[in-house]
Amino acid sequence: MKIVHVITRLILGGAQENTLLTCEGLHARGHDVTLVTGPAIGPEGELMTRARRGGYRLVVLDAMRREIHPLRDLRAYRDLIALLRELKPDVMHSHSSKAGILARRAAAKVGGMKIVHTVHGLPFHPYQARWMNLLYVRLEKRASRHTDAIISVANAMTRQALAAGVGRPEQYVTIYSGMETDLYTEPAADAAKFRASLNLPPDALLVTQVSRLAELKGHEYLIEAAAGLEERIHFCFVGDGHLRAQIEEQIRRKGLSPRFHLTGLIGPEQIPAAMQASDIVAHCSLREGLARTLPQAMLAGKPVVSFDVDGACEVVDHNTGVLLDPRNVPDLRAAIELLAASEDLRQALGQAGREKCLTLFDHRRMVEQIEALYAKL
């Protein structure tokens, strides 16, 4: 098949990793694959370098940007129409909100192809202005009318989209976001080096969160929880973003600087080592599709603590970690305290999590499911 994938930007992120693994997998299976994206702009790092090594065609449209900009968005839309007319794909598969809205409309205008869209995370949510939610719901409703199939990375995404009136039940299929599972299950040579780089005390227990330092990622709740925990429990924030200075200031105000370690941006190849160097992995985000950091931690054999948002409950349960009400700092503190007190419990939860995620999140399984969906269409 001739397949075109379209995504807004190739920063370091779950949707982007998912898309690259899909393109690489389909290319390896002999399909004619083109990936269309905008510039990898932002402090979150980039995956453009990996995309250029993928062996498939990569097209960068300068007008494709995350921010709403009517004139630039119109230019991106016209560029997509011209490109799709030139390529004449069998399938156009879009990812992320901006690319999903523009590319699906362009594909419908050109015609002659099946249209697929993956919901990695919905653009409308309770923490956003009402007018913006109304706008995004309206745009997503219109885009769904041009869509042959909608892939959700979690069942929660399907439920929320249908509740908002986006699409029809028969359009949706859940395909969990695949990853290179071997990188997490095999011992990481750099795990000890990562831990040593933090200058931890010999008896320290490390709680790590991997995410952008941005709104709704919940770093403030971990900082609040840390204030009531014993001093041997240290915390590591892996990632970067525009809220870094604000987060560092909150840590200083609480007098917790010796126990908090901010690594800044690290490459995706270093994430397995960060997971394996940790004792507990926490994810306090208030909004996710299904955070990749949860199955990554579980594949590394680590217990997880997560707020019960979106698709988190589809991987985290009483056998694999602790699921909490969002923003509940006392329960977050108690969960970390419980896991910190028992190495046996941490190992039991970590082992169960690994077994649960091994097949469910294997990237080869994801590619097989997506390829089968295309063939069915």
Write down the pLDDT at residue 289. 85
User: In this predicted model, what pLDDT tens digit does every residue of 198-241 receive, in sequence order?
Assistant: 999 999 999 999 999 999 999 999 999 999 899 999 999 999 98
Q: pTM of this prediction?
A: 0.91
Mean pLDDT for 20-39 is: 97
Beta bridge partners of 149: 116
> In the structure, what pLDDT confidence band is assigned to residue 186 with cuts at 50, 70 and 90?
confident
User: In this predicted model, what pLDDT tens digit does every residue of 272-325 receive, in sequence order?
Assistant: 999 999 999 999 999 888 999 999 999 999 999 999 999 999 999 999 999 999
CA distance 29 to 366: 13
Asked whether residue 330 carries a pLDDT value surpassing 80, the answer given is yes
CA distance 342 to 205: 11
Asked whether residue 44 carries a pLDDT value surpassing 80, the answer given is no
The beta strand positions in the chain, using DSSP E, are 2-9, 32-38, 57-60, 91-95, 114-119, 149-152, 172-174, 205-210, 233-238, 260-264, 280-283, 304-307, 321-324
User: Which tokens hold the place of 149?
Assistant: 């199939």
Mean pLDDT for 10-29 is: 94
> At the topology level of CATH, where does 2-178+362-376 sit?
Rossmann fold (3.40.50)
Asked whether residue 168 carries a pLDDT value surpassing 90, the answer given is yes
The tokens 């990749």 sit on which residue? 292
Domain at 182-360, CATH homologous superfamily: Glycogen Phosphorylase B; (3.40.50.2000)
Distance of CA 110 to the CA centre of its chain: 31
Question: pLDDT over 70 for what percent of the chain?
Answer: 100
Write down the pLDDT at residue 54. 94
Write down the pLDDT at residue 67. 87
Asked whether residue 108 carries a pLDDT value surpassing 90, the answer given is yes
User: In this predicted model, what pLDDT tens digit does every residue of 110-139 receive, in sequence order?
Assistant: 999 999 999 999 999 888 899 999 999 999
Asked whether residue 158 carries a pLDDT value surpassing 90, the answer given is yes
Write down the pLDDT at residue 46. 86
Write down the pLDDT at residue 129. 92
Assign 3-state DSSP to the chain and report helix, strand, coil percentages, each to 5: 45, 20, 35
Write down the pLDDT at residue 319. 94
Asked whether residue 43 carries a pLDDT value surpassing 90, the answer given is no
Domain with CATH 3.40.50.2000 in the chain: 2-178+362-376, 182-360
Of 293, 296, 324, give the one whose Cα is nearest residue 222.
324
Asked whether residue 71 carries a pLDDT value surpassing 90, the answer given is yes
Under DSSP, the state recorded for 144 is H
> In the structure, what pLDDT confidence band is assigned to residue 267 with cuts at 50, 70 and 90?
confident
Q: How many CA atoms lie within 13 A of 67 on its CB side?
A: 8
Write down the pLDDT at residue 106. 98
